[in-house]
Structure 1
Amino acid sequence: MGVDAATMVPTTEVILARLRAFFGVDHTCLRYNDHEIRASIMIAECPSRDVIPDPDPLGVVYFEDADEVFAQAEHMTDLIYGRPGSGTEGYQERVREGAAAMAADVVGDGVPEASFLAAPLVSAGVPSGFISLTKFGDREFDADEMNAMRAIAALFAQLKARIAAEEQLRHIASHDDLTGLSNRRALLEHMEERLAPGRPGPVATLFIDLDRLKALNDFLGHSAGDQFISAIARRLRDQTDPRDMIARLGGDEFVIVPALSLGAAAAESEAQRIRKLIGERVELGGEKVSRSVSIGVAVGNPGSTSVSDVLRQADQAVMAAKASGGNGIAIFTEEMRAQYELRDDIELNLRHAIESEALFLHYQPEVDLRTGRIEAVEALVRWQHPTRGLLYPGAFIEVAEATNLAGEIGRWVIRSACQQLADWRKAGLASDIVLRINVSPVQLVSLDFVASVDQVLAEFGIDGKSVCFEITEHVVVQDLVRTRITLRGLKDIGVQVAIDDFGTGYSSLAHLKALTVDALKIDLGFVRRLGEDADDLAIVKSIVGLANSFGLGLVAEGVETVIAAETLISVGCYRAQGFLLSLPVAPSEIAKLLTTGYISVDFSVNDEVNTN
């Protein structure tokens, strides 16, 4: 029979009707054995009863409490045959109770005892159910009829086994091996249905990402990590609405789609409950462990929001939650949408920007606050985006690092800046100016970085001491061994190195002692409020003292007010850059400044600062 799980019952009812007519009996039925609960379960019958009593004596019959016939059905592998007066009083009573609900033309005025024939369904030697014929009154079944029922039961047994195998394959295809939860495929199918036009909404989606599961794996082993994930899956399954869709996407990521229609506020409340639920301890091998969790929440509307949109939004929300330190909940917002649309746009167009020369450099002077003399210029990359206008590094460098384009951009910056310095010097400018260039982590740990820098310097006839690479503090500790090798190589070719954004919490005295650096640049976060914030002043004084102790140069970033400039002079930091002195400007504007070599430090007339 070409049937599946969905069509099996109605198709069986048609066949039972044919068997009833062929054998001239009053009732036919198909029953399956459930050996886990030790019961015989009605699957289909003909005729259907008009009224089914509660409890139904024929619906589910537990073998432990069964009459003599049903008790045999648990283990029978051959026919059971009975007639009135054959010692089947308990079964006859059950048949009478069930028959009382049949149509009047079947039962008649009374319900006599019945004759019956039950043929077992046997798969691999195990009885999986039976198909039966019942005739009210006395009826003898001959050998041919019995053999026919054996053959029919064998066909039904094959059908049951095939459908069970198909269901098992379908289950495997739609469920996660480790946890038994739904997988991505099942999740997508469920969400397609939930978000179809006309379905009730809104539809909330909770994207769950366990925090720092790797630490648990490292400490207890990967098998413990799998046990932990399985325990969390059981907890979610046991303590959520059974109608909720719970899926594991792999690793430590889960998605819950509540069955109820939830708006953003209600979904956030449910996320809070889930966060506390997952945060409870799990016992593994005698250890009680727990992990915090980040949850991203997105809400879609049937007919207007696609599955991919909702899942992407929930994923972006959970990324925001993790970026905030983890153990939190983030709701997808329109502001978040704009942020990620920009990120996607940048990722799609950045490589073309590099190849089509849409990137260019501005330069910001570094000045001696006492004299106004220009000591250095910092090269700062810009991108003239075709639709979004001028973009600054903060908008695209992170994307460049994530897409392995940071190194390519870095090489372009070094080459372009050195070429510009060479052009200025050909014009008789910048003979004693230092060119400062920011270097990404990718460049710093590249094995050929020093050699490539040496090649560019030689190409444009620039000596190493005219260039200073700026590296951020977190780059120093990211790969300390490789960083030290690179810095020693730069020192060998005469290139200076400065630690940028100094004071933001990564460096230590041991690192400063171990690394061959020439200068520190005080992070603008400590400079902007000088003269107003005593804590910032204390930090700046400490950095000045540290630089003096190690014999390092010192530059302050972000000088925007006169009082900040004056405070820096008073504590012994004389070199600075910032909007008070000059914005980053085009090479032609720098050329004009370099012609004089000075920027006015008459702060009484420069107190108005443009911070755009």
Structure 2
Amino acid sequence: MPRRTLDSLVTQVASELMGVDATTMVAASERVLSWLIEHFDVDTSFLRHTDRDRRASILIAEWPPRPVVPDPDPLQVTYFDSSDSVFSALEHAIEPMVVRPGPQYDDYQQTIRQSTGVAAVSVAAVPLVSRGEPTGVLGFVKEGDREWSTRELNVLKAIAALFAQLQARVVAEERLRYIAMHDDLTGLVNRRALLEHMEERLRAGNAGPVATFFLDLDRLKALNDFLGHTAGDNFIRSLSTRLRENLDPADMIARLGGDEFVIVPAKPMDAESAGMEATRIQQLIGRRVTVGEETVSRGASVGVALGIPGETTVSDVLRRADHALLSAKSSGGNGVAVFTDAMRAQFELQDDVELNLRSAVSDGSLVLHYQPEVDLRTGRVVALEALVRWQHPTRGLLPPGAFVGVAEATNLAGELGRWVIRTASEQFALWRRRGLASNVVIRINVSPVQLVSLDFVETMEGILRRYGIDGSSVCLEITEHVVVQDLARTQVTLRGLKRMGVQIAIDDFGTGYSSLSHLKALPVDAVKIDRGFVQRLGASADDLAIVKSIVGLAGSFGLGVVGEGVETTVAARTLVALGCYRAQGFLIARPMPAEEVEEHLASGRIALDLDLPGTSRSVLPGPS
């Protein structure tokens, strides 16, 4: 750099530092130091910042660079309370300090001789000052003696002030960046920082696979409800501290909000290792935490997914980890699930369903199949259950289990439910007009959304009137968990339906939600024994006892009882022996399209080979 006047030197430094930020600060500082060394004819120069919390001085830049820098570098961090007298004095200095050969600093000169072999040096140390407080030092070293004029020191003070302004600006920018990239409750990084980190980890050429753990605390709301949200926040903070203390410092730990966390281990892991580490973390989270005067714990569900650098995107990895988490939670929670190809297929189907279900409700691709319910003693068809199917354009005929849950999660349950009721009622009315199904009840499943809808009774009444169906020919089936979800609203709806004569049955009965008080409080006509109990009749004494108690319970309340999922003759004969005569299942008939049902409605019976005691024939009459 051409030699400049002192004033022009300050102007040049100010121009150089004006647009500098944290990423360019070191390089810009080194350029300025190189100019200052040349201008002031010194040997070395350095810029250091003060870390008040540690009472230490941190090396930011030096010129010229040392040819060999040891690791660790003893000059990188220097503590004031363990350094030489000159450096210690700089901790609180706000005015330039000049050290020259002589008795005043003989101990310092002796240290220099012992460490470098140089007989004596002259040093000018100019503090960086911000708001009256020293925040660093700009230093110059010259072998031998050098006198520093007042004019020179004043110029260096001006340049030090420019460095102090840069330092303050960078600190402020770093603080804003910290706030933007960290969770304010725990100090963990947030979603934005996580995404940046994962983008870098998944860049082509990096080591992999990259494991990602998606954590969700189980039932944190219960803790908040019982102890208050302050206690819940303290629990989250304690848990975050525990994770930091027990994981590799290089691991990325992010809080996405609420009770959701994501951990990205620094080391590459295969699926087996990732599963083991996730289990360790899950058990770590489960340890008890003291919150105020209470000692509490929460379980955690963990979903694990792997990403391959250069092949997998961040969104793909997080979505897979989230899917694995949902799988872990659906299995009861407090467990670990690793994303698999089977899981991929399941969630691809779910995404497909979610994208296309709305149009399916209106484009005619939904169809109803009907499963007969018979009297096991005679084979007489007593009811037909309407079951929705979706004729998917690429996946074929989908059962309700593949899309009803998605409908409920995407606010389509009401629209889907109304379509089923209208379509089943229209078909049932057609059969009635043709002299079929005169003594048959049509059974229709009702979703929780429909049951608590304020206009459901009115909607149902309009459909029955439109198709000329009497209410007693219709039985609406509700599941047990719907009963307890909103008992008061359920009572109002069911009583309105009963005024129209509509029958009510509780589906999947015996799965643990209902109680005797619910049966007494609701106008229910029948219960349908959950298929899981019926399918194991003849193989499980426990299930036999449960079915027997349900039949007895129904009888004591004057309710009808239906056995679902009858697939073996043993199950059918057992139901009859227990006094449950009505049943449906694959042994009797599978769900079938309307045109196939008409054959059975024409005869009114389905042939069964049950070899029941007291019957003269083992094969009941079929179509005549």
Q: Which residue of 2 aligns with 1:343?
A: 350
Structure 1 residue 606: Cα displacement: 9.0
Q: CA separation in 2, counterparts of 1:53 and 1:507?
A: 73
Q: Which residue of 2 aligns with 1:451?
A: 458
Letter in 1 for 2:374: V
Letter in 2 for 1:459: R
User: Bigger shift: 390-399 or 371-380?
Assistant: 371-380
Q: Is the 8 A contact 1:58 1:94 kept in 2?
A: no
**Closer/same/farther in 2, CA of residues 567 and 71 from structure 1, 3 Å limit:** closer
1:410 maps onto 2:417 in alignment: yes
Letter in 2 for 1:125: G
Q: Which residue of 1 aligns with 2:189?
A: 182
Q: Which residue of 2 aligns with 1:529?
A: 536
Letter in 2 for 1:365: P
1:567 to 551, 557, 574: 574
Q: CA separation in 2, counterparts of 1:540 and 1:186?
A: 55
Structure 1 residue 51: Cα displacement: 4.5
Aligned residues, how many?
A: 597
Q: CA separation in 2, counterparts of 1:408 and 1:75?
A: 74
Q: CA separation in 1, counterparts of 2:428 and 2:352?
A: 32
1:551 maps onto 2:558 in alignment: yes
SS at match of 1:582: coil
Q: CA RMSD in A?
A: 1.9
Q: Which residue of 2 aligns with 1:540?
A: 547
Q: Which residue of 1 aligns with 2:10?
A: none
Alignment of 1:347-366 (within 5 A): 347-366=354-373
Q: Which residue of 2 aligns with 1:9?
A: 26
1:503 maps onto 2:510 in alignment: yes
Q: CA separation in 1, counterparts of 2:470 and 2:237?
A: 61
Q: Which residue of 2 aligns with 1:18?
A: 35
Structure 1 residue 274: Cα displacement: 1.0
Q: CA separation in 2, counterparts of 1:601 and 1:517?
A: 29
User: Bigger shift: 132-141 or 496-505?
Assistant: 132-141
SS at match of 1:259: coil
Q: CA separation in 2, counterparts of 1:600 and 1:60?
A: 91
Q: CA separation in 1, counterparts of 2:513 and 2:538?
A: 25
User: Bigger shift: 78-87 or 235-244?
Assistant: 78-87
Letter in 1 for 2:87: F
2:154 to 147, 160, 163: 147
**Closer/same/farther in 2, CA of residues 547 and 51 from structure 1, 3 Å limit:** closer
Q: CA separation in 1, counterparts of 2:77 and 2:393?
A: 71
Encode CA deviations 1:222-278: one digit per residue, 9 max, x unaligned: 111111111111111121111111111111111111111110111111112212221
Alignment of 1:188-199 (within 5 A): 188-199=195-206
1:78 maps onto 2:95 in alignment: yes
Encode CA deviations 1:271-297: one digit per residue, 9 max, x unaligned: 122122211221111221111111111
1:43 maps onto 2:60 in alignment: yes
2:106 to 84, 89, 112: 89
SS at match of 1:255: strand
TM-score by length of 1: 0.94
**Closer/same/farther in 2, CA of residues 67 and 449 from structure 1, 3 Å limit:** same
TM-score by length of 2: 0.92
Structure 1 residue 559: Cα displacement: 2.0
User: Bigger shift: 453-462 or 7-16?
Assistant: 7-16
User: Bigger shift: 449-458 or 9-18?
Assistant: 9-18
Unaligned runs of 5+ in 2: 1-16, 612-616, 620-624
Q: CA separation in 1, counterparts of 2:536 and 2:72?
A: 80
Q: Which residue of 2 aligns with 1:66?
A: 83
**Closer/same/farther in 2, CA of residues 82 and 514 from structure 1, 3 Å limit:** same
Q: Which residue of 2 aligns with 1:482?
A: 489
Q: Which residue of 2 aligns with 1:161?
A: 168
Q: Which residue of 2 aligns with 1:426?
A: 433
SS at match of 2:403: helix
Letter in 2 for 1:570: A
Q: CA separation in 2, counterparts of 1:55 and 1:373?
A: 89
Q: Is the 8 A contact 1:580 1:606 kept in 2?
A: no
Q: Which residue of 1 aligns with 2:474?
A: 467
Structure 1 residue 54: Cα displacement: 8.5
Q: Which residue of 1 aligns with 2:614?
A: none
Alignment of 1:206-245 (within 5 A): 206-245=213-252
Structure 1 residue 58: Cα displacement: 4.8
2:401 to 394, 399, 403: 394
**Closer/same/farther in 2, CA of residues 398 and 58 from structure 1, 3 Å limit:** closer
Encode CA deviations 1:330-386: one digit per residue, 9 max, x unaligned: 111111111111111111111110010111111112212222222111111111000
Encode CA deviations 1:58-98: one digit per residue, 9 max, x unaligned: 54332223333222211111111232226122332344455
SS at match of 1:87: helix
Q: CA separation in 1, counterparts of 2:58 and 2:587?
A: 85
Q: CA separation in 1, counterparts of 2:570 and 2:149?
A: 113
Encode CA deviations 1:108-163: one digit per residue, 9 max, x unaligned: xx623222222110111110011122222222211211111111110010111111
SS at match of 1:88: helix
Q: Which residue of 1 aligns with 2:276?
A: 269
Aligned-residue sequence identity (percent) comes to 64
Unaligned runs of 5+ in 1: 101-109, 608-612
1:315 maps onto 2:322 in alignment: yes
User: Bigger shift: 269-278 or 325-334?
Assistant: 269-278
Q: CA separation in 1, counterparts of 2:493 and 2:217?
A: 36
Q: CA separation in 2, counterparts of 1:333 and 1:505?
A: 31
Letter in 2 for 1:14: R
SS at match of 2:171: helix
Structure 1 residue 440: Cα displacement: 0.7
Letter in 1 for 2:364: E
Q: CA separation in 2, counterparts of 1:31 and 1:426?
A: 95
Letter in 2 for 1:560: E
